[in-house]
Amino acid sequence: MTAATAQGLCDFIDMSPSPFHVCATVAGRLRDAGYTERAETDRWPSGAGATGRFFTVRSGSLIAWDNSADPRGPFRIVGGHTDSPNLRVKQHPDRVVAGWQVVALQPYGGAWLNSWLDRDLGLSGRLSVRDPGAQGGVAHWLVRLDEPLLRVPQLAIHLAEDRGSVSLDPQRHLNAVWGVGDRPRSLAAYVAERFGVARDDLLSADLMTHDLTPSCLIGVDEDLVSAPRLDNQGTCYAGLEALLAAQPGDYLPVLALFDHEEVGSTSDHGAQSDFLLTTLERIVSGWGGDREDFLRLLTASMVASGDMAHATHPNYPDRHEPGHLIAVNGGPVLKVQPNLRYATDGRTAAAFALACRQAGVPLQRYEHRADLPCGSTIGPMTAARTGIPTVDVGAPQLAMHSARELMGADDVGAYSAALAAFLAPEVAS
């Protein structure tokens, strides 16, 4: 078993309003557990210096590995993503409309837009600041304002053309009010002042909104988790606890968390980048392996692509595939899609089924309705990019891509336990 709990997940999410904060939260836990950070720009130690527990960060992505035992084995990798659908601040956001000072926002990923209306929103992300002493003359600062600064107001029902459904235009209807007046107010200047940055030193900002309502346990028995960003911080947390609990043996355990899954993973640090491949190759070269050793080990390795899964909705049971109904608090989910929107095949499904048996948790099997478009994960692109056999798995939830999502409290520990068993299988394949 792992140390993962429902309350632990709530705490993790509340500390991590942006992908950059996810990496910082995970990095802090890893350091506390004895992991050492490796900068990609440094020469990594070889020989005895390559043995141990390490992690590296590239922008909003992080990879951690434990080669404290035998570093020459194939890899078992748990993958996930750090980003979540939200509303992000435009580069020139300052506007005045009808006497309201507004901040121009735009959706990131497949955000369920109506769920973001009439919520008190804070700001988080990263500032890029001029700093002659930093590499390239630029320092990057994490920022977080847990204050009710912004609100995207709903249209009054009396003004709607169709009271049954208000359709939101992502260009016109997502501006957030934050004051009144006849002149725009500078968001950049406000944020710079709050964090003690001279306005001329603020070179760029990656800012996004987050819901200020804390994560919590709900339900008559408190057996449900209500939180933002469960997709996919539920996997980030479960995977982190799995890595910390896994005992290396025949396989080298790896945790790989990527940014930008919600928009296709096509960035320098997304799942379609070289981040995972170059890290794995440097691990192999660290113990003296060559290119041939690296390629040989890839084919013997396996990835569990972790993302959240669709629990059967009580108000829309007809939207789910008959015979593949998924229960909250019913255990981890194996995701299969014949057209390979999920990367699972018979080989990798069997490996995850064994992991669930080893962990002593039930396994649920999910397939999407054939007449509905299926979502995506990092699984297929990771498999194609690396050549490593991959299985798509997850934990069940409702309200996916809403500003506020819902999952089972018991599923947090069960999911993490299954991932830990996958990282360190008792029987080598």
**Residue 318: which CATH number?**
3.40.630.10
Report the C-alpha gap between 283 and 272 in whole angstroms: 19
pLDDT at position 78: 98
CA atoms within 13 A on the CB side of 159: 3
**Structure tokens given for 400:** 């996916």
Residues 265 and 375 in one domain: yes
Residues 119 and 30 in one domain: no
Crossing angle of the two packed helices 19-32 and 230-245, in degrees rounded to 10: 20
Residues 145 and 247 in one domain: no
Report the C-alpha gap between 176 and 149 in whole angstroms: 9
- Inside any domain, residue 173: yes
User: Residue 397: which of 410, 407, 387 has the closest Cα?
Assistant: 407
pLDDT at position 164: 74
Residues 243 and 366 in one domain: yes
Report the C-alpha gap between 79 and 303 in whole angstroms: 7
Strand order in the sheet with 216-218: 216-218, 224-227, 405-408, 396-398, 309-310
Residues 330 and 366 in one domain: yes
Query: Quick check: 394 and 306 in contact, CB under 8 A?
Result: yes
Residues 244 and 177 in one domain: no
Last residue of a domain, one of 179, 211, 243: 211
Tens-binned pLDDT, residue by residue, of the chain (429 aa)? 899 999 999 999 999 999 999 999 999 999 999 999 999 999 999 998 899 999 999 999 999 999 998 778 999 999 999 999 999 999 999 999 999 999 999 999 999 999 999 999 999 999 999 999 999 999 999 999 999 999 999 999 999 888 777 789 999 999 999 999 999 999 999 999 999 999 999 999 999 999 999 999 999 999 999 999 999 999 999 999 999 999 989 999 999 999 999 999 999 999 999 999 999 999 999 999 999 999 999 999 999 999 999 999 999 999 998 999 999 999 999 999 988 899 999 999 999 999 999 999 999 999 999 888 888 899 999 999 999 999 999 999 999 999 999 999 999 999 999 999 999 999 644
**Structure tokens given for 318:** 């007809």
pLDDT at position 427: 67
φ/ψ bin of 329: left (φ > 0), alpha (ψ from -120 to 50), beta (otherwise) = left
User: Residue 241: which of 14, 378, 412 has the closest Cα?
Assistant: 412
- Inside any domain, residue 220: no
SS3 content of the chain, % helix, strand, coil (to 5): 30, 30, 40
Largest CA distance in the chain: 72
Residues 104 and 33 in one domain: no
Question: Does the global pTM surpass 0.95?
Answer: yes
Residues 51 and 166 in one domain: no
Report the C-alpha gap between 207 and 7 in whole angstroms: 27
Torsion of CA 269, 393, 356, 244, to 10 degrees: 20
- Inside any domain, residue 223: no
Report the C-alpha gap between 35 and 280 in whole angstroms: 17
Last residue of a domain, one of 211, 244, 274: 211
Rg (CA), the chain: 22
Report the C-alpha gap between 18 and 219 in whole angstroms: 27
Residues 196 and 277 in one domain: no
Residues 75 and 90 in one domain: no
Query: Quick check: 36 and 54 in contact, CB under 8 A?
Result: yes
Crossing angle of the two packed helices 275-286 and 291-300, in degrees rounded to 10: 120
Number of domains the chain contains: 2
Q: How close are the terminal C-alpha atoms of the chain, in Å?
A: 21
User: Which domain does 290 fall in, by range?
Assistant: 6-84+228-423
- Inside any domain, residue 217: no
Report the C-alpha gap between 80 and 97 in whole angstroms: 40
User: Residue 307: which of 396, 190, 424 has the closest Cα?
Assistant: 396
User: Residue 306: which of 196, 387, 373, 390 has the closest Cα?
Assistant: 390
